[in-house]
Chain A
Amino acid sequence: MSENSSKHTLDPNKWIDKYADYLFNYAVTRVNNSDLAKDLVQETFFAGLKSAKNFEGKAAERTWLVAILKRKVIDYYRKINSNKGKAEVRMNFYQDGDNEGDWLEERVPQTWGNDADKAIESEELKSTIDSCIDHLPEKYAMVFRMKTIQEFETEEICKELNITASNLWVIIHRARTQLRKCMEENWFNN
């Protein structure tokens, strides 16, 4: 759409063949829901089409589409952030009073069986982890997955989700303590 040959151009007719899988993979690793990821990719293509006239050709076509998708993911993240989150977080420590910061009695780590390392690569274990992650509030699950499973750099996640590093560590900490408890109940002491 740009006439200048030194600039990048858009060719919407080839978007699906060239970028659909890449964008879908990008989205699904962030939202962990293939139907939602599909919707986000579809919205991205339509948004791209709508704003094609604003494309200046400074970035490559794929980079430009990824930037649009990123905004969609952030919008989704903000939506779930405002809808729910805190109510589903189970606290592990006293939040105030003389005992502030101490373990809550019912949440203290229990002794795990000696066979805690049993069949560490079993499918059953993988599905237990998935189920425990799915029980986290969505924003916690998203940040945890990006940091721990997809192994993104802290800075990258903060930039992408517009959160501070200390906010990220609070989320990771709460997610991990909740996951530890869930795994304790459903795997290690099951």
Chain B
Amino acid sequence: MFKKLKITCDQATTICDKGQYGESTFFEKIQLNIHFLACKLCAAYTRQNARMSKIFKMKAVDCKDHSHCLSSIDKDVFKKELEEALSKK
């Protein structure tokens, strides 16, 4: 049982990353918190990771506000090429 609870820093930070998306399991959260007792580096990583998530969230909101469209020039080129291809059919 104790062996299962013991994880490496690599595993701990992976769980931390999953946690940023709300996708770590209950058992993984226990493993992570036990790991924190002995590892200050991963605890620091987790604090910084939360800050990073805040920034990424801001970026996600910014990205959703912005929809990408083709220019009318590009569309005209596409249309011409498609018409040509259609006429050959």
Question: Which residues of A line the B interface, CB within 8 A?
Answer: 12-13, 15-17, 20-21, 24-25, 28-29, 34, 37-38, 41-42, 45-46, 49, 92-93, 100-103, 108-109, 111-112, 116-117, 120-121, 125-126, 129, 147-151, 154, 169-170, 172-173, 176-177, 179-180, 183-184, 188
Name the residue on B nearest A133 (C-beta): B59
Closest beta carbon of chain A to B4's beta carbon, Å: 15
Q: Is the CB of A109 within 8 A of B44?
A: yes
Q: Is the CB of A93 within 8 A of B86?
A: no
Q: Is the CB of A103 within 8 A of B9?
A: yes
Within 8 Å of chain A (Cβ to Cβ): is B36?
no
Q: Which of B41-70 contact A (CB under 8 A)?
A: 41, 44-45, 48-49, 51-52, 54-56, 58-60, 62-63, 67-70
Closest beta carbon of chain B to A9's beta carbon, Å: 15
Q: A117-B51, A148-B21, A183-B55 are in contact. List 18 more A-B contacts (CB 8 A).
A: A17-B75, A24-B68, A25-B68, A41-B70, A46-B81, A49-B82, A49-B86, A109-B45, A120-B55, A148-B60, A149-B59, A150-B60, A151-B60, A154-B21, A154-B23, A172-B17, A173-B13, A183-B52
Q: Which residues of A contact B86 (CB under 8 A)?
A: 12-13, 49
A183 to B48, CA, bound (A): 10
Interface bracket on B? 35 or more
Q: Is the CB of A101 within 8 A of B9?
A: yes
Within 8 Å of chain A (Cβ to Cβ): is B3?
no
